[in-house]
Amino acid sequence: MDIKDEIQKRKTFGIISHPDAGKTTLTEKLLLFGGAIREAGTVKGKKTGKFATSDWMKVEQERGISVTSSVMQFDFDGYKINILDTPGHEDFSEDTYRTLMAVDSAVMVIDAAKGIEPQTLKLFKVCKMRGIPIFTFINKLDRVGKEPFELLEEIESTLEIETYPMTWPIGMGQSFFGIINRRERTINPFREEEKLTLDDDYQLTEPHKIEEDAAYKDAIEEFMLVEEAGDDFDKEKIATGDLTPVFFGSALSTFGIEEFLDTYVDFAPQPTGRETKEGAEVSPTNEDFSGFIFKIQANMDPRHRDRLAFMRIVSGKFTRGMDAVLTRTKKKSKITRATMFMADDKETIEEAYAGDIIGLYDTGNYQIGDTLYSGKQVDFADLPQFTPELFMKVSAKNVMKQKHFYKGIEQLVQEGAIQYYKSMHTNQPILGAVGQLQFEVFEHRMKNEYNTDIIMEPVGKKIARWVENEEDIKDSMNSPRANLVYDRFDRQVFLFENEFAMRWFSDKYPEIKLYSLL
């Protein structure tokens, strides 16, 4: 099979949602459905010792939330599907944002009772900005929630996207009977095995007791209205992210997932290309191998001090043992160990293709945003970096643990969840983050993975601004309200106390050009 055939078999998507909408559970059940795992763990089942397969970090297991992006692959209907399960918690939006740079489509999970929530909206906007196709799974239909029309209206008005229900629920909560499958013209019961078939007018082809049920009558009436007055199915609009196919179901009960997968593999895009810094597009079918690092994760296996760099293959074919050039350093090296992920199991792979996500064992050579290539030189566009808002001074509780302390900071900072700064004259380490939970996870991991207790002293909320013309900075500009620090690349950064302090500084020193990250 040639490279083009292999690439056409790949589908790569990220799952986005607000916390608790059921994103990780859906990931679990997709893996279970695809035969990747025999028994899905559940976030609820902490007492049994079963945890969601994609939540491998100890702090995630204890809290029942995802704070890292997990990568998994499974086979379905002749396709190789790569799933990236993203953190739902807003404090980890930067990790999620970068992960969404590595996917070709997204699955948006919505809680039927809560509808569109703030984090869902934020992540949707990232997907919309990239113009990637979005598939919507409305979850928890086995509980009482909002009416289907209300949910569709909310999606359309809040997200400014057209909807096309591929399935339609019959009842909800205790009266949830099942879903109407629009493509197959069947009714798939929630608690029974046998599907019911419908004719061209969506009437049952054989008598069934459900016909007397009020929820069934309402659902058929609603569905006929959707057929007559709803948006038309449009493959082009799906491809550009202007129309989202909508599915109803219950991830916890593995219900509605088959219908989702059947449609997803038919309409989700195959791997897409990526733009270089020069603005050129690298095609997936380009014979030369290329890829970029979008995530680094240390200590996935606590028994070993391992560190994995997650790479999205953009073009060509990866072969174990191949030589690849790291664009940033211009150094060529042989990649002898690469892994593919099956939830928390990982196996060494011999080859992979454009669209696949693989893990490269890393001794500290790689950074987030790095490009690797063979053949003609490639340098992909930079990945986004957020401007942090919260800051903490951090130090080791035990001065004898300084080596562990700095090693831990170095590795965890390279993962990209927190940013590292140091004061100008004392080199006091200062951490910056988008949200408070990142500090808690940092403290937890320093203790558990690097055996180092730390002291954290809040610096508070600050406005961070970098300096374009560093040569014009003078020591006298540094003050408590405009604190001058260095970032991990030794660039000068002002931490302003508030908007007033920043305006005052700009008025006093108009020659200093300040800028922010995202």
Residue 243 assigned ligand-binding role: no
Residue 87 assigned ligand-binding role: yes
Reading the block at residue 246, the tokens are 């909508």
Residue 22 assigned ligand-binding role: yes
Give the whole-angstrom CA distance, residue 39 versus residue 60.
19
Question: Is residue 338 within 8 Å of 293, Cβ to Cβ?
Answer: no
Residue 308 assigned ligand-binding role: no
Beta strands in 191-349 (DSSP E): 196-197, 243-248, 274-275, 281-282, 290-298, 307-315, 317-319, 323-326, 331-334, 338-342, 345-348
Residue 105 assigned ligand-binding role: no
Residue 20 assigned ligand-binding role: yes
Question: Is residue 315 within 8 Å of 307, Cβ to Cβ?
Answer: no
Q: Which residues pair with 324 in a beta bridge?
A: 333
Q: Which residues of 95-132 are buried (b: 16+ CB within 10 A; e: fewer)?
A: bbbbbbbbbbbbbbbbbbbbbbbebbeebbebbbeeeb
Q: Which residues of 261-296 are buried (b: 16+ CB within 10 A; e: fewer)?
A: bbbbeebbbbbbbbebeeeeebebbbeebbbbbbbb
Residue 189 assigned ligand-binding role: no
Give the whole-angstrom CA distance, residue 176 versus residue 191.
9
Region class of 316: left (phi > 0), else alpha (psi between -120 and 50), else beta: left
Residue 284 assigned ligand-binding role: no
Residue 141 assigned ligand-binding role: yes
Residue whose entry in the numeric block shows the structure tokens 């937890």? 444
Residue 140 assigned ligand-binding role: yes
- SS3 (DSSP) at 302: coil
Residue 268 assigned ligand-binding role: no
Residue 19 assigned ligand-binding role: yes
Residue 23 assigned ligand-binding role: yes
Residue 139 assigned ligand-binding role: yes
Residue 66 assigned ligand-binding role: no
Residues 6 or more apart whose CB falls under 8 angstroms from that of 136 comprise: 107, 108, 110, 155, 163, 244, 245, 246, 247
- Angle value at C-alpha 298, between 297 and 300, nearest 5 degrees: 90
Annotated binding site for GTP: 17-24, 85-89, 139-142
Bind-site residues: 17-24, 85-89, 139-142
